[in-house]
Amino acid sequence: MKLSLIAAVAANGVIGAGGDIPWQYPEDLTHFKQTTIGHPVIMGRRTFESIRRDLDGPLPERLNIVLTTTPRHLPDSVTAVTSTTAALTEAANSGASTTYVIGGATAYEQFLPQADELILTELRAAFDGDTVFPTVDWSRWSETERTNHNDFDIVKYTRAGSDSD
């Protein structure tokens, strides 16, 4: 199973502000939906709470796996896990070929060492925010695809080496 981190990242590394995304790019949301639909998505509890607030529930047509220390406080419509290992096991048990980590910063940081792929919407603008994407050792990643849009590029990176080298 391929593990992919998917995120929209401002020019200054910001991915969130006050539990929300501080920009609106409908093309990026369409890309996110088309990429992740039908696949398991792994997220932290705060990311799930933000999605639930915006959509009044989990992401549709995806196995929503929520990494949390308090699983009893989550609805039955999501799969709550307390470790990264359990999250990956649930995703693998779904039979999917690819699983996407969709945020937030802590989940990205926890899964980055195991990720096979990064799919980043690289925004040209900087935004104010309180949550940033983790530092990436770019010497370990190769850009394999880039799609240009007016205000951002969608860039796919594939791991070139191991983080434990």
Domain that holds residue 15: 2-159
What per-residue confidence (pLDDT) applies to 5?
Answer: 99
Q: What is the arithmetic mean of pLDDT over 2-6?
A: 99
Q: Please indicate, yes or no, if residue 135 is contained in any of the structural domains.
A: yes
Number of H helices, E strands in the chain: 4, 10
What does pLDDT average to over the chain?
A: 95
CATH of the domain at 72: 3.40.430.10
Q: Please indicate, yes or no, if residue 113 is contained in any of the structural domains.
A: yes
What per-residue confidence (pLDDT) applies to 44?
Answer: 97
Helix or strand (DSSP H, E) at 105: helix 105-111
CA neighbor of 142 nearest in space, from 165, 155, 154, 160: 160
Q: Is the pLDDT of residue 65 over 90?
A: yes
Q: What is the arithmetic mean of pLDDT over 94-104?
A: 98
**Which residues, other chains included, contact 75 with Cβ-Cβ below 8 Å and sequence gap of 6+?**
52, 57, 58
Q: Please indicate, yes or no, if residue 164 is contained in any of the structural domains.
A: no
What per-residue confidence (pLDDT) applies to 111?
Answer: 99
Q: Is the pLDDT of residue 71 over 90?
A: no
Q: Please indicate, yes or no, if residue 165 is contained in any of the structural domains.
A: no
For the chain, the domain total comes to 1
Angle at 55 between CA 105 and CA 19, to 5 degrees: 30
Q: Please indicate, yes or no, if residue 151 is contained in any of the structural domains.
A: yes
Q: What is the arithmetic mean of pLDDT over 72-98?
A: 95
**Which residues, other chains included, contact 97 with Cβ-Cβ below 8 Å and sequence gap of 6+?**
1, 2, 39
What per-residue confidence (pLDDT) applies to 165?
Answer: 40
What length is written for the chain? 165
104-161 pLDDT, tens digit per residue, is: 999 999 999 999 999 999 999 999 999 999 999 999 999 999 999 999 999 999 998 6
